[in-house]
């Protein structure tokens, strides 16, 4: 079933569930309306008929009295008219089904009509006394009985109206209860249908989004929990995504192999060029003038730069292939950063930069890291970039501190007062082959900071950057002190402001002689790393965004 069909089916189900109580409520409201209309019509008709009956009886009494006293044809006509009016009202009440249960008013009115004829005969015979007696003894009692039916008829009309109003109220209350219950049930079922539809569509979309984010970060692996078996658009998208990731993984593998092969093939000619230049320089000896010696120095310098960049590409390839030889050991913190200061002090003086290194008392005495990776790649690249983009007279500093919640963790920050990084380029600083502000670049390939991030994350740590254009840059590195078995990922860099911990002021670190180190491992480490740190002196890096 396609997504469109699923949505249409869900909408139809929700509309049906919500429409059923609505239709029921409308039907009950129609019943109430019919009762109201009937009640209004019948009550008006019956009340009008009752009024006509009452008025006719009253008028008949008045006209009959006047006719007996003064036998005027007008009174006789009025008497008949009033009687006919009362009979019409009684007939209308009878048609409406309302009247006295025991004796309906028409019975008394018929008797009253017969008595009226006898009364007329006496009046016409000019038997006034007999007519008066007949009116008092015969006509008046019948008239009283007829008028006695009016009040019960009015009560019957009121009872009928009350029953209709009660029925309308009961129907209305029942309709409200039923419609409310049905509406709640419909909402519950509708919510269930909507939730089912949402989960059916959003769960695979979220998994696809997470997988695509991983691909965007360089992890070319299609997870197994995507809905590959579905026959809708999401299934097609998942299968296409799996095919794409497989192709990207294969292209990445081929790229890494080509990069490694090309890098190895380049190193051999570079070594030959450098060796031949040295042989020519030694053979010529004093015959070389200053210009020629400058040419040889240029050859050696560019061979060194090319070799360094080839090595960086090889290192990055090994890191991405999870084949970088990370060999951790317990490295002393204070001597390490003392050697860092000694190694980079000449470069700082050459650039006219104030360079300081300080270690807070909260810093751990030892940290478990790969010393070569820490010196040559992590600290070396960060400091080379800091010196490169800090103008003469500026400041570059390293601050080292610990973490009270994680005693083995080491934090350090490389802070410079240089040109900074534009806000729109900060998010790309750790990307491969990307260089912010190319007009400031010295032609590097943009791998230094990518290697920094890869190696820091391989140690289980984090690296963050805070900078703004013209306001300096802070690189914050956290090394947990406990290295995972293997953790080399290409996720996005963390973002956030650097906050140095409060506490005692950090003390500057001075170089320590080899005889003052603590323990035999420290002596071995100092002797082994001295040559690698010294080889970094004079390295210019590749640019703000990676050597």
Q: Work out the average pLDDT over 98-103.
A: 58
Q: Percentage of residues in the chain with pLDDT exceeding 70?
A: 78
Classify residue 240 by its DSSP letter.
H
For residue 353, is pLDDT > 60? Answer: yes
Q: Is the pLDDT of residue 525 over 50?
A: no
Judged against a pLDDT cut of 60, whether residue 123 lies above it is answered with yes
Q: Which residue has the higher pLDDT, 226 or 357?
A: 357
Q: Rounded to the nearest 5°, which phi and psi values hold at 96?
A: -80, -5
Least confident piece of the model among 142-151, 191-200, 496-505: 496-505
- Average pLDDT, stretch 307-312? 70
With beta carbons less than 8 A apart as the criterion, state whether 523 and 333 touch: no
pLDDT of residue 395: 93
pLDDT level of residue 502 (50, 70, 90 thresholds):
very low
CA 356 to chain CA mean position, Å: 46
What is the rounded average pLDDT of the residues 148-159? 78
pLDDT given for residue 316 in this prediction: 62
Residue 504 reports pLDDT greater than 60: no
* pLDDT value for 315: 64
Which neighbouring-strand residues pair with 376? Answer: none
pLDDT of 118 higher than 70: yes
Total Cβ atoms within 10 A of residue 275: 11
- Residue 399 pLDDT class (50, 70, 90 cuts): very high
Band of pLDDT at residue 13, cut at 50, 70 and 90: confident
The per-residue pLDDT for 474 is 92
204-216 pLDDT per residue, tens: 888 888 888 877 7
Q: At what angle do helices 233-284 and 150-216 cross, to 10 degrees?
A: 20
| CA 318 from centroid of its chain's CA atoms | 39
- Please write the tens of the pLDDT for every residue from 59-90: 888 888 888 888 888 888 888 898 888 888 88
Q: Residue 99's pLDDT is what?
A: 60
Pick the residue with more confidence: 91 or 267? 91
Confidence band of 434 (pLDDT split at 50, 70, 90): low
How does 489-502 read in b/e, with b if 16+ C-beta sit within 10 Å?
A: bbeebeeeeeeeee
Please give the mean pLDDT across all residues of the chain.
Answer: 75
Asked if the model's pLDDT at residue 477 lies above 90, the reply is: yes
Please compute the mean of the pLDDT values over residues 257-280 and round it to a whole number.
76
Q: Which residues of 142-160 are buried (b: 16+ CB within 10 A; e: fewer)?
A: bbebbbebbeebbebbeeb
What is the β-pairing status of strands 395-402 and 507-508?
Answer: unpaired
Domain ranges within the chain, ordered by starting residue? 3-170, 233-320, 329-536
- What would the DSSP string read from start to end of 101-147? SSS-HHHHHHHHHHHHHHHHHHHHTT-HHHHHHHIIIIIHHHHHHHH
Measured CA to CA, the distance from residue 20 to residue 181 in angstroms comes to 12
Q: What pTM was estimated for this model as a whole? A: 0.44
pLDDT at 164 over 50: yes
Q: What CA–CA distance (Å, rounded) separates 141 from 108?
A: 10
Q: Is the pLDDT of residue 337 over 80?
A: yes
pLDDT at 171: 78
pLDDT of residue 503: 34
Categorize the per-residue pLDDT at 517 as very low, low, confident or very high, splitting at 50, 70 and 90.
very low
Please check whether the domain covering 329-536 is classified as CATH 3.30.565.10.
Answer: yes
Query: Quick one: pLDDT band at residue 314, thresholds 50, 70, 90?
Result: low
Position 321 scores a pLDDT of 56
d(CA 430, CA 477): 13
Mean pLDDT for 102-118 is: 80
pLDDT at 461 over 80: yes
- Under the banding of pLDDT at 50, 70 and 90, the label for residue 306 is confident
pLDDT category, 476, cuts 50, 70, 90? very high
Q: Which CATH class is domain 233-320?
A: mainly alpha
pLDDT more than 90, % of the chain: 9
Examine the pLDDT at 507 and tell me if it is beyond 70.
no
Among 41-45, 59-63, 143-147, 323-327, top mean pLDDT goes to 59-63
Taking the C-alpha atoms of residue 223 and residue 109, their distance in angstroms, rounded to an integer, is 99
Domain 3-170 has CATH 1.20.120.1730: yes
Average pLDDT over residues 534-539: 37
């Amino acid at each position: 079933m396609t997504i469109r069909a699923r949505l249409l089916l869900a909408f139809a189900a929700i509309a049906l569930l919500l429409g059923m109580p609505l239709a029921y409520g409308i039907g009950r409201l129609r019943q109430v309306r019919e009762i109201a209309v009937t009640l209004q019509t019948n009550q008006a008709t019956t009340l009008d008929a009752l009024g006509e009956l009452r008025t006719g009886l009253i008028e008949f009494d008045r006209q009959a009295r006047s006719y007996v006293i003064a036998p005027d044809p007008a009174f006789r006509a009025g008497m008949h008219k009033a009687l006919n009016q009362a009979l019409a009202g009684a007939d209308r009440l009878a048609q409406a089904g309302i009247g006295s249960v025991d004796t309906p008013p028409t019975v008394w009115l018929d008797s009253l009509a017969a008595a009226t004829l006898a009364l007329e005969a006496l009046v016409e015979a000019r038997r006034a006394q007999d007519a008066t007696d007949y009116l008092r003894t015969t006509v008046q009692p019948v008239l009283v009985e007829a008028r006695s039916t009016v009040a019960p008829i009015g009560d019957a009309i009121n009872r009928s109206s009350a029953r209709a109003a009660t029925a309308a109220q009961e129907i209305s209350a029942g309709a409200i209860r039923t419609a409310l219950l049905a509406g709640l049930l419909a909402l519950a079922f509708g919510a269930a249908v909507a939730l089912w539809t949402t989960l059916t569509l959003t769960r695979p979309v979220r998994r696809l989004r997470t997988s695509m984010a991983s691909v965007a970060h360089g992890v070319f692996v299609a997870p197994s929990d995507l809905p590959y078996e579905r026959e809708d658009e999401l299934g097609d998208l998942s299968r296409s995504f799996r095919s794409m990731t497989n192709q990207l993984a294969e292209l990445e593998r081929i790229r890494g192999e080509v990069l490694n092969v090309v890098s190895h093939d380049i190193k051999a000619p570079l070594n030959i060029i450098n060796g031949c230049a040295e042989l020519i320089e030694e053979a010529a000896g004093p015959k070389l003038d200053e210009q020629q010696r400058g040419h040889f120095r240029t050859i050696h310098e560019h061979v060194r730069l090319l070799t360094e960049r080839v090595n960086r590409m090889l290192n990055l390839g090994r890191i991405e292939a999870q084949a970088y030889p990370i060999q951790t050991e317990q490295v002393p913190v204070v001597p390490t950063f003392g050697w860092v200061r000694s190694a980079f002090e000449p470069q700082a003086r050459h650039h006219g930069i104030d360079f300081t290194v300080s270690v807070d008392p909260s810093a751990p005495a030892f940290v478990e890291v790969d010393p070569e990776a820490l010196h040559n790649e992590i600290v070396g690249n960060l400091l080379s970039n800091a010196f490169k983009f800090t103008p003469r007279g500026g400041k570059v500093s390293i601050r080292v501190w610990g973490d009270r919640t994680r005693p083995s963790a080491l934090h350090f920050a490389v802070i410079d007062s240089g040109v900074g990084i534009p806000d729109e380029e900060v998010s790309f600083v750790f990307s491969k082959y990307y260089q912010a502000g190319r007009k400031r670049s010295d032609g590097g390939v943009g791998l230094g900071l990518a290697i920094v991030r890869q190696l820091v994350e391989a140690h289980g740590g984090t690296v963050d950057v805070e900078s703004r254009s013209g306001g300096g840059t802070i690189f914050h590195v956290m090394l947990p002190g406990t290295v995972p078995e293997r953790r080399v990922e290409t996720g996005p860099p963390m973002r956030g402001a650097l906050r140095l911990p409060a506490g005692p002021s950090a003390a500057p670190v001075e170089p320590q002689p080899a005889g003052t180190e603590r323990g035999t491992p420290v002596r071995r480490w100092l002797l082994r790393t001295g040559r690698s740190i010294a080889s970094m002196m004079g390295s210019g890096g590749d640019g703000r965004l990676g050597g």
